[in-house]
Structure 1
Amino acid sequence: MRVLFLASEVDGLIKTGGLADVAKVLPIELQKRDIDVSVMLPCYPQVKALVVPGEAPIELTMHLGSQHYIYRIYKISGQEVPVYAIDYEPYFNRDRPYDDGNHGYADNGERFAFFTLAALQACQMLNLKPNIVHSNDWHTALAPFFIKTVLADNSFFAETRSVLSIHNGAYQGSYDLNSIPFAHTFSQYTEEGMYDSYNMFNFLKCGVLYADAINAVSKSYAEELTTPLGGHYMSHIFQRRKDALVGILNGCDYGEWDTENDPHLIANYSATDLSGKAKCKQDLQQQLNLPEDPNLPLFAMVSRFTDQKGFSLLVPALADFLASSDAQVAIVGSGETAICDALTALAKRYPNRFGLFIGYSDALSHQAQAGADYFLMPSIFEPCGLTQMFSLAYGSLPVAREVGGLKDTVIGYNGNNLESANGITFLNPEPDALYYTMRAATDLYNESPEIYLQIQQRAMATRFLWEKSSAEYIDMYNDVLTHSH
């Protein structure tokens, strides 16, 4: 089986989020299972720096109506699977892949529609005849549409089927067709359901309508996408394609997240010897200027500061929790100004209770995972989530809302399920629900240390392996090749 994997980012080359992790690890796991897989991504400057030295690129011309685009294909060196970068400098020679730091690029629709068409042309030039074209999120969601419309008469793709993975359905890629200079080459095939409003063409809707199979990155998120509450205003489209929609939970890279070998930690530890974790807690308290008290429960969080991550619940809950509870909180992250300001005000009011680091530090994100007793994930929605997988492995019990991938990975202790619990959960997206859950977690830590330890041991034994996930992807590919027309 030959798979062409299309992604807008790949970890190790360029990364802004969880999509990059999947785009790196999943193709490697597929290759281990004898799938002939190639990856294509745009040739951003960071990627171009890693092309195979001395290897001349392949130059191609794409004719789209009266438009002519001359672009190059580079092979990237040092990769475990073949990775190709599509280089068209007017679109991709920019410091950041999607935005200028504040606003998305106005021509993003044009850029990624071009990338998708160019990737499909490039695989013909490279003679990579795919059984499956696997697209990811809105950036490459037009591939299923192009294969079935613009390229319908192209014999190269006669046996090709398409899969679309949804890593975050809130980002859909909605652009005025007039902003895409070559839109006339495909607009004749569009239909009403692909538009948000007049001429505002939605890439993700288009991909969902045309893909032979659609997968979300957890089973619960796949179910939520079909509901008005969880469907990001697209539930009617997901309902239409419900029979083609599955959920496959992401795996976790335990090579990078390993308490026994993590180079970022002041002391390593394991489930059978937690003494190093106590030192990590002391180190985190030091770094965030909190009193070094081993007896206070420490709640940590590492996150982008966005509404999705539950800050509308957390900020009011924290104000009450810090005022009334004997515990500490440590938060690391950056994002929306209003959230930064609200957290900064709380940190000033409770300097001995609340340590805040605004910014991103890979080392500190590992140290926060290791130093915490509890890890906060009160997300409004969470397609899969990797952070809770890390916190489970690090013995920092997730305090998570029962939604999406969190619901599929964290089993909340309810007093009666000690044999299966690996964290603390709550359901209602309300500040009070989070506040009372944090209070209950504090009581558990202080009053029932033996129960806390039992849950912690189970958390550290919990594993979500890419071997299992990749086998499910191959089952989906086989199903598509067997049943779709």
Structure 2
Amino acid sequence: MATKNFSILFVASEVEGLIKSGGLADVAKALPEALLELDQDVRLTLPAYRKVNGIESAPVLLETKLEHWPHTEYKVRELTAAGVKAYAIDCPQYFDRPEMYAENNQAYQDNGERFAFFSAACLDMLPKLGFQPDIIHANDWHTGFVPFLLKHRYGNDAFFAQTKSVISIHNAVFKGVFSYDELQCLPEFHGRYAPDAAVSTTHVTMLKAGVMNADKINAVSPTYAEELKTQLGSHGMAAEFQSRADDLVGILNGCDYSAWNPETDPLLPANYQADEASMVEGKSACKRELQKRVGLQVRDVAMYGMVCRLTNQKGVHYLLPILSQFLNNDVQVVVVGTGDPVLASQLKEVEALHSDKFKFIEAYDNGLAHLVEAGSDFFLMPSEFEPCGLNQIYSMAYGTLPIVRGVGGLKDSVHDFDTDPQVATGFVFLEPEPTALLLTMQRSLLLYAQQLSEIRRVQLYAMQQNFCWNKAAQEYIKLYQQAFQY
């Protein structure tokens, strides 16, 4: 089948380079950029939050109001992200705030209304801008009402007659559950009846609205697509995903190697490439710098790094019970992250007992994250669930062996040393138990202590893996073609 040149509107609540809180932003920058390189006419849209880079000076393309009740006034400003045109929807009552979603760990009370409006404005602006997309690609719960409104509000609108919708599920634990009262800015909910969005008689979930109305659904790894059809893996939406099983695929995220490449990374004290001498020398220099930066003794020792949000999803609760025991070995461990204050205080307690071997840095620090990836020998990702995960891919690029639980995208991207040493890129365990993690960390340490040359071979092999976005983007184009034949 010849590749069609699609016009695509990529709708996301955050985009790397403009504003970011997590991995969704990385995808929202890198995938459109890769689609553009494959000659697709792709454009982005996001809310014009106060902190969006360059928002104040961004030219206004459109001053208008919603055609549908409540006729909210808004502007569309033009930005670019990685060469892709971006439409920022500027509505101060919703988006001119200090943060994107929450302040002081408290979600904004009107998040349902804010993102319902955003979804409505994304569609409302298109005829006015004269951009008629073949595909509207929504992402996660914030944009779940885009496929819903495309079908319910614009189902008979000639402008949208050929437009298909796709929704990507980056993390189904966040569903956007709101009461009908919180969504009165959409007349579609005035009757308090929406079976294809309802989760109870009083509440709807924006993610369900997207999943039940999109033409195609994509999960960000093949294994996660399978997990979404199970009670455990779907976080309560198994029936919906099962009912759409024929339209559900899993495409593994790519890696933005322009930002994560040890050969060119400006945040490292020494750059290195995938040959043994360069790698050993470069990683040693990065390890020394990491030790200095966090206040550990500078010496040649097995280094374990972890950079994550402090949540149970990331498996911090598997690490904490066994961390002190593991620190009885000749090792150093560095954890960088922010999040759950209880987990943070527990990590501080371990640091107080083992400050010569363990450092916890409670910060979101991109420079330090790059240094941990390069300076560590092993990277910990013992996730409870992980739709795709990017840090295991970054780790491999930096010759740092990921230690992961075999779920979601981790299972799809990391090969276990004991299972198949020739193609190994890290260490994998399955049981959601602290002891399973401990045994796997000890396996890695034993190999480091007894067969360093074997560790080096696996590190080099890991560096040669390629999870480029170009490959993923071609899979998305196939998905768009399938949506068109829907």
Where 1:204 maps in the other structure, the secondary structure is: helix
Picking from 368, 372, 376, the partner of 2:376 is 372
Which residue matches 2:325?
Answer: 320
Which residue matches 1:199?
Answer: 202
Where 2:102 maps in the other structure, the secondary structure is: coil
Number of corresponding residues: 478
The answer on 1:28 being equivalent to 2:33 is: yes
TM-score relative to the length of structure 1 = 0.96
Report the RMSD for the aligned CA atoms in angstroms. Answer: 1.5
The answer on 1:356 being equivalent to 2:360 is: yes
In 2, the alpha carbon distance for the partners of 1:466 and 1:419 equals 25
**Amino acid aligned to 1:438:** M
Which residue matches 2:293?
Answer: 287
Change beyond 3 A, Cα 1:193–1:121: closer
Which residue matches 1:246?
Answer: 249
Which residue matches 1:95?
Answer: 98
In 1, the alpha carbon distance for the partners of 2:196 and 2:189 equals 15
Retained in 1: the 8 A contact 2:137–2:167?
yes
What is the Cα deviation at residue 78 of structure 1? 6.8
In 2, the alpha carbon distance for the partners of 1:78 and 1:105 equals 26
In 1, the alpha carbon distance for the partners of 2:236 and 2:102 equals 24
What is the Cα deviation at residue 64 of structure 1? 3.8
Where 1:400 maps in the other structure, the secondary structure is: strand
Which residue matches 1:417?
Answer: 420
What is the Cα deviation at residue 239 of structure 1? 0.7
Retained in 1: the 8 A contact 2:385–2:408?
yes
Retained in 2: the 8 A contact 1:51–1:76?
no
In 2, the alpha carbon distance for the partners of 1:27 and 1:390 equals 20
Picking from 176, 180, 183, the partner of 1:177 is 180
1:11-37: CA deviation from partner (whole Å, max 9, x where unpaired): 111101111111111111111112111
Which residue matches 1:397?
Answer: 401
Once structures 1 and 2 are overlaid, which stretch shifts more, 188-197 or 447-456? 188-197
Which residue matches 2:3?
Answer: none
Change beyond 3 A, Cα 1:102–1:298: same
1:174-193: CA deviation from partner (whole Å, max 9, x where unpaired): 00111123233345595435
1:372-422: CA deviation from partner (whole Å, max 9, x where unpaired): 0100000001111111111101111001110101101100111x6221101
Where 2:88 maps in the other structure, the secondary structure is: strand
In 2, the alpha carbon distance for the partners of 1:166 and 1:85 equals 22
Picking from 431, 454, 472, the partner of 1:428 is 431
**Amino acid aligned to 1:257:** W
Which residue matches 1:49?
Answer: 54
Structure 1 residues without counterparts, runs of 5 or longer:
none
Where 1:192 maps in the other structure, the secondary structure is: coil
For residues 136-285 of structure 1, the aligned pairs below 5 Å read: 136-188=139-191, 190-192=193-195, 194-272=197-275, 273=278, 274-285=280-291
**Amino acid aligned to 1:41:** L
Retained in 1: the 8 A contact 2:169–2:217?
yes
In 2, the alpha carbon distance for the partners of 1:463 and 1:269 equals 17
The answer on 1:13 being equivalent to 2:18 is: yes
**Amino acid aligned to 2:20:** K
Where 1:194 maps in the other structure, the secondary structure is: coil
Identity %: 43
Retained in 2: the 8 A contact 1:411–1:424?
yes
1:130-183: CA deviation from partner (whole Å, max 9, x where unpaired): 111110000111111111111112111111111000111111100011112323
In 2, the alpha carbon distance for the partners of 1:190 and 1:458 equals 55
In 2, the alpha carbon distance for the partners of 1:37 and 1:417 equals 41
**Amino acid aligned to 1:361:** D
Where 2:230 maps in the other structure, the secondary structure is: coil
In 2, the alpha carbon distance for the partners of 1:165 and 1:286 equals 41
Retained in 1: the 8 A contact 2:60–2:78?
no
In 2, the alpha carbon distance for the partners of 1:83 and 1:271 equals 36
Picking from 39, 43, 47, the partner of 1:38 is 43
In 2, the alpha carbon distance for the partners of 1:7 and 1:452 equals 40
1:54-79: CA deviation from partner (whole Å, max 9, x where unpaired): x44411122544x2311111111575
What is the Cα deviation at residue 328 of structure 1? 1.3
Once structures 1 and 2 are overlaid, which stretch shifts more, 306-315 or 255-264? 255-264
In 2, the alpha carbon distance for the partners of 1:396 and 1:48 equals 32
Retained in 1: the 8 A contact 2:51–2:99?
no
**Amino acid aligned to 1:178:** D
Where 2:207 maps in the other structure, the secondary structure is: helix
What is the Cα deviation at residue 280 of structure 1? 1.1
